[in-house]
Structures are given as structure tokens and as C-alpha cells.
Structure 1
Amino acid sequence: MGRQQKTKLTHPTPVQLPSGAWRCQVMVNGERISVVDRDPEVAHTKALAIKSGLIDRKKSPQIMTVGEAIDRYIESKDSVLSPATIHGYKKIRKNDLQELMGLRLPELRQEHVQRAVNQMAKKKSPKSVRNAHGLLSAALTMYYPEFVLRTTMPQKIRHEIEIPDMDEIAALLQASVGTKLEVPLLLAVWLGLRESEIRGLTWDCIEGEYLHVKQAIVDGEDGPALKGTKTYSGDRRIRLPEQIKAVLEQQPKTGDHIVTLSGHAMYNRLSRLSEKLGLPHRRFHDLRHTAASVAMSLGVPNTYTQKRMGHATDHMLKTVYLHTMKSKEDEYADRIDQAYDALLHMNLHIYTNKSQ
């Protein structure tokens, strides 16, 4: 049964597991329930309490599995987190770190977590692994706070963001005139709106000379859901250019929303249009990158761009958007080359005069 217990305990008898913890099993309504604890007396007492109905086994963190803890964590956040976030959590719960889900919380060890992370890292991106580990960490913090994770995570992969240049944007805008893609393209590349913000716009968001970005539509477990902006700073007013106002005035008002396309439909239409024009494949979010990069290439202060884009801080501008379009890179490279070329010619002239 394992090492000798200090105190003789009656049935159910605690059994020591290879992990060092003690397990006590009882039958409740024909179901075998296991209680695990590092102390055999505690495991025995809890098992008796569950059998007698003094403890609801479904509400006791000490006998929950990892999967049950994550389920309860997701349920506890259902009314405060975005439907898209909850949907993402449920996908993680269903598909990732499955070798941990059946373990009781007191049985969980850092080695179990590290092995599960290692296996997941072989199949999925570092970002996906971090998201899954983050959900696990949040659930453990709430229901098993004495367990502190010290997991070594896979190294982040830096993805170079390619931004459509102005020629590409001009071609897309021209080809989209009169189509359902025209308004979403203008709002993304000119005003820097997120896809979810574009979908959330209603006609009352147009307030005179300004567009009030105050809500978004995201895809949750039960389909599209209307929510507030991504951040507090996301609720913003942007002055409407005359060209965009004119296009909006021509749109049919068949419902409350300005744009009736789903996120998937926007992506598909952009892909088909790009293919037709012989342009590189882009995500719809890449158009938002363009809006930020154009502002930065024009010397617009970060504080204004940050406010216009709806960021809470300028962190995203510095870490993600701090790059310029390829045409601008070439322009700056030409300036540097010309400066050094002039310097070398001047020095050559000085040396030539000295030699004479």
C-alpha cells in the first residue's frame, strides 16, 4: 500500500500513489470518486465527507481534475470576457494539453506540464502553446494556487510583417469601387479600423463630421455577437474624410449595420480581388497595418496615431507597426547612399588636389 501510516485509518483506506500523494476512493450513487491529497488523513476525511454528502464533490477544488478546473474557470468568466475569447478558451480546453485534463489537481506536477507543453510545441506555434499554458495557469491560480508553474516555454518566432504598398492599395481601392468590399477597404486602410469594428458599425455611429467607433462584432461559440470595443481606448471618434462620407451616403440602408459582410466574407472577397489583380495574398488585418505605417511614414506623432488606431498605449506601434513600406525603405536607402556617395566624391577631390 506504500509507506506505513502514522495513524490507523478506517475504510476507505488511503493508498499512496507513485507521485507521493495519497488517494482515497469512495462510491457515491454507483460512481467511484477519488480524493487525492498529500496527507493521507486529509484524503480520508474528505472522502468520508463526500460519501456522507457534507462536501459537494463537484465544488471542491481539491478533488477537481485539471479539465474540470479549466471548465469552471471558463464558466466563471463567461459574462465578463469577449465571446470570441470564451470560444477560444473552449477550443483550447477541447484540443490542447489533453494529457493533463484527467489529472486531479493534487496529482499535477511540473514535469507533467512540461512534457505536455513539449508535445504541443511539436505540432503548434509558440503563440498557441503560450495561449494554452496561459489558460492552464489562470485556472490553477484560481483553484490550486499553491501550485506555481515554472514551465520553460518554446521560443517566440518573430514574423516579419509585410505591408501592402500604396500602389497595391490604390489598385485594390479602384477595383472595389461599387462593390460590397469598398467600404470595408476604405475604413481599414484610411481610418485604421479593425475588422470587428467595421462589422460593428451602425448608422448611428455617423455623428456629423465624425465616425464614432463604439462597438464591435466578434464570432463566438453561438455565432456573431455584438460587444464593446477591444479596449477602453478603442471607443473613439475619427473625423470622416469627404470621400468616405460620399461613399457612405450612397450605401443602401437595409438594416442597422453599415457593413453586412461577415469576417469570413471580407477575407474571401479580398483574397479573390487580390488574385484577380495579380497582387500578393493579404490578411484583412494587413490593411490596418497600412493605415499605421502611412501615418508614421508621414511623420505623424505616435500619440495621435495611437489614439486614431484605438490602442491603449504606444506599445503596439513600437513593437508591431514600427516598420515602413518597401517603397519608403528604398527611398531612405537612396538618401543614405547619396550622402555617402557625396562624401566619398568630396574626399576623392581633396586627395586629388593634394597629390597635384
Structure 2
Amino acid sequence: MKGHIRKRGNKYAIVVDLGRDHNGKRKQKWFSGYDRKKDAEKDLPRILNEINQGTFIEPSNETFKTYLEKWIRNKKTQIKPTTLDNYTRMLQNHIIPALGHIKLEKLNRLHLKEFYSMLEEEKELAPSSIKKIHAIVRSALSDAVEDGLIMKNVASGIKTPRIGPSKIKVWDEKQLMTFLNSIKEDPLYIAFHLPAMTGMRRGEVLGLRWQDIDFDQKILRVMQTITTEGFSDAKTQTSDKRTIDLDDVTIMELKKRKKIVAQDKLKAGPAYEDNDLVVCTPLGKPIYPRNYNRKWYNFLEKVDVPKIRVHDLRHTHATLMLLQGIPVKVVSERLGHASIEITLNIYGHLLPSIQKEAIKLFSKNLFENEKKENKNSL
């Protein structure tokens, strides 16, 4: 059995000769889609060996979504009804929306790592929930290997967030202001001001449109997000859109940003791609999470503050509000948590110190007012 490389347009293909059929017609198998010739040359020996050994798996166009839907149907007779309900919920709410569009054979470890990171940072799922989701993905891919649909289980060996007390790294007020003041002249300053002052998630900031901001009422509505796969609706499980009140400084910064966008649009002319985005490139195109993170870490290299994740700007916002005595329910609503319990699980460690400060303030106000009243009565 022989094989060779052939160029097709701008790409390369592996062509394997399989001999001739019963009519004497030459049989060939094509493996297309290689961007570089050397990549095809590197893959050729493996394909020939797998065909000779009988271990070659025919590439499939089946998506992960299609496979998972068949997989869960087959699981009905193998697992308990309660477990099946849990699996189905995890598939519908998290796994399929994020990974379902990827072809089963193309799914890789990077896809899964980014998925788990998104669940932790943007969805704010507990480590135990992410581990359960990972177990479902690993089990499904294990069955796909046994059924001969893929060569290996890419979920094996991937580490998920450790279950244990959450250790959130945040800045204090001075550190936050040092950072914000240091990057203030950057055209994309607003992209980092917003999570610090509103508690918005990264995807929510990147998906924010001008039409979602009411400058007169000083509020914004979280209507859409941007993920690694593009735009998605920001609708929550209760179908409510989150509204966030804005302070005067943030309103001022948004107006500054609007002027920058208007200038970019004028300069680009017909080349401008108008998505109505607050955070975008000079040509109006969306900025995706990976590039946003890159910008963040470039800033951190230049500013003398402790290194934290960009998602920790959201945690910083929540922490500073709680330490200033803002009710947990108000903070929970700003963050868009489904329940106050989620907020308490994340920031509950702050409550003892908050209570100490609160009782000091309560006592001070109570007894000072009594002294003033007694003094006035004399």
C-alpha cells in the first residue's frame, strides 16, 4: 500500500492507493485539509500504518452534539432515572451549548480546558459541578473510543478546579485605583473599568452594545455576551435581563469611549463593521476573550500591582462593595447570580469581618445618638 501528497487549491491532501476493484478500476482514499505540505507528510506514515493494522478510523462529520444525543438515549437503560435527569440537564445547559458544534473527531484537550475555565470564571459553577460535567464528557468520549468512533479519549488526564475553600484574589481600593489610573489613556480602558465598577463578566463586557445603555437613567442592560464561539444571548434561566446601575464616573468614561468609537468609524469609512459594540477594534469588529486576556496581562506587566486574573476584577467589585457594607442581596443582583446562596458561597468568608465592622458602626450610631439626645434635653 502506497500513499503520496497532492496539492488541491491552497491546501494539501494525502492520497492512499488501495489497489483495484473487481472491475480493475483504481481505488484511492483521500485525506484532505492540510494547510502545509510537511503536516501531510508527517501524517502519511501514521495513516498507512493504521490502514495496514486495521486500526484506522474513518473520519466522520458527526458533531459532538449529535453523538451526545445518541449517547444519552442509550444510557436510559444503564443508569438510574435521577442520574439520567442530572446528565440530561448538564448536557442541555452546559456541554452541548458550548461544545456541541465541534465535530466529534476534532474535539481536543484545548477545547475542554477552555470550556472548564469558562464554567469556572464566567458561569461561576462550583468546582464540584465542573467535576461532574467533566465526568460526563469523559464517560461519553470513553464510549466513543470503545465504539471505534475516535482513536483516544481527549478528556483523560485533564485537571478540573480543585474542590475546597475558594481562594479569591482581589485588589484593595488603592491597588484597584493604581491599576485604573495607569491604563486610563488606553483606547480600551473602558473594557477594564466596567468589570471593576459593575461586576460584569468578561463576555458581558465584550458583548455590551450602545443600545443597551441608557445614559439618562444611568443604567445598562446585559443583553448578550461574547464567547470564544461568538455572540450568544445573555438570557438567564429565569429569562430575565440583568439591569445594572451606573455611577457618574462610569457614565463619563462611557461617553469618552463613544467619542473614540465615532472617530474610529469616521476614519475607517466603508471598512468599518458596525456591530454597535462598546468594546471593539478600531474597525468595529468584536474583541474575543483570548485577545482581551492578552491585553489584560500586557497591562499587568507594566503596572505595579499584585497579579490577579481578569475575572478577579469582578470579584474585586463584589468584595469592596461588601466590605463597604452594601447588602449581600444588592451585590448578588449586580453580579447576576441566580440566588443569594451563590453569592454567599463565593464571598461568605468576608461576612465575619463585615459583621464586626457593622456592629461597631451600629453601636457607635446608636449610643452617640442617645448621647446627643440626652445633651439636647439638658
Q: TM-score with structure 1 length normalisation? A: 0.52
Displacement of 1:196: 0.8
Tell me the matched-pair count.
221
Distance in 1, Cα, partners of 2:227 & 2:331 = 24
Query: 5 Å matches for 1:99-248?
Result: 129-135=131-137, 156-207=163-214, 208-209=216-217, 210-220=219-229, 224-232=230-238, 235-248=241-254
Displacement of 1:174: 0.2
Distance in 1, Cα, partners of 2:175 & 2:314 = 14
- Do the aligned partners of residues 292 and 282 (structure 1) sit closer, same or farther apart at CA in structure 2, a change above 3 Å counting? same
Provide the secondary structure at the position in 2 that maps to 1:321: helix
Distance in 1, Cα, partners of 2:185 & 2:191 = 12
- Do the aligned partners of residues 314 and 71 (structure 1) sit closer, same or farther apart at CA in structure 2, a change above 3 Å counting? same
Displacement of 1:85: 4.0
- Do the aligned partners of residues 137 and 288 (structure 1) sit closer, same or farther apart at CA in structure 2, a change above 3 Å counting? same
Cα pair 2:201 2:314 within 8 Å, conserved: yes
Query: 5 Å matches for 1:272-311?
Result: 272-311=298-337
Q: What is the Cα-based RMSD across aligned positions, in Å?
A: 4.2
Query: 5 Å matches for 1:306-321?
Result: 306-321=332-347
Displacement of 1:133: 1.5
Cα pair 2:202 2:311 within 8 Å, conserved: yes
Cα pair 1:199 1:262 within 8 Å, conserved: yes
Displacement of 1:134: 3.3
- Do the aligned partners of residues 67 and 197 (structure 1) sit closer, same or farther apart at CA in structure 2, a change above 3 Å counting? closer
Provide the secondary structure at the position in 1 that maps to 2:226: strand
Provide the secondary structure at the position in 1 that maps to 2:198: coil
Displacement of 1:285: 0.7
Distance in 2, Cα, partners of 1:155 & 1:213 = 30
Deviations 1:158-208 (A, max 9, x none): 441111221211111101212134212221011110111111111101123
Displacement of 1:265: 2.1
Q: TM-score with structure 2 length normalisation? A: 0.49
Cα pair 1:271 1:282 within 8 Å, conserved: no
The equivalent of 2:78 in structure 1 is none
Distance in 1, Cα, partners of 2:316 & 2:245 = 18
Cα pair 2:207 2:231 within 8 Å, conserved: no
Cα pair 2:225 2:233 within 8 Å, conserved: yes
Cα pair 1:216 1:229 within 8 Å, conserved: no
Cα pair 1:234 1:312 within 8 Å, conserved: no
Cα pair 1:192 1:308 within 8 Å, conserved: yes
Cα pair 1:212 1:235 within 8 Å, conserved: yes
- Residue 196 of structure 2 aligns with an amino acid whose one-letter code is V
Distance in 2, Cα, partners of 1:323 & 1:275 = 30
Cα pair 1:293 1:322 within 8 Å, conserved: no
- Residue 277 of structure 2 aligns with an amino acid whose one-letter code is H
Cα pair 1:83 1:219 within 8 Å, conserved: no
- Residue 130 of structure 1 aligns with an amino acid whose one-letter code is K
Cα pair 1:196 1:216 within 8 Å, conserved: yes
- Do the aligned partners of residues 319 and 245 (structure 1) sit closer, same or farther apart at CA in structure 2, a change above 3 Å counting? same
Distance in 1, Cα, partners of 2:223 & 2:197 = 18
Distance in 2, Cα, partners of 1:271 & 1:154 = 21
Provide the secondary structure at the position in 1 that maps to 2:187: coil
Query: 5 Å matches for 1:47-66?
Result: none
Provide the secondary structure at the position in 2 that maps to 1:226: strand
Cα pair 1:92 1:132 within 8 Å, conserved: no
- Do the aligned partners of residues 81 and 168 (structure 1) sit closer, same or farther apart at CA in structure 2, a change above 3 Å counting? same
Distance in 2, Cα, partners of 1:168 & 1:241 = 20
Provide the secondary structure at the position in 1 that maps to 2:347: coil
Give the fraction of aligned pairs with identical amino acids, expressed as a percent: 22
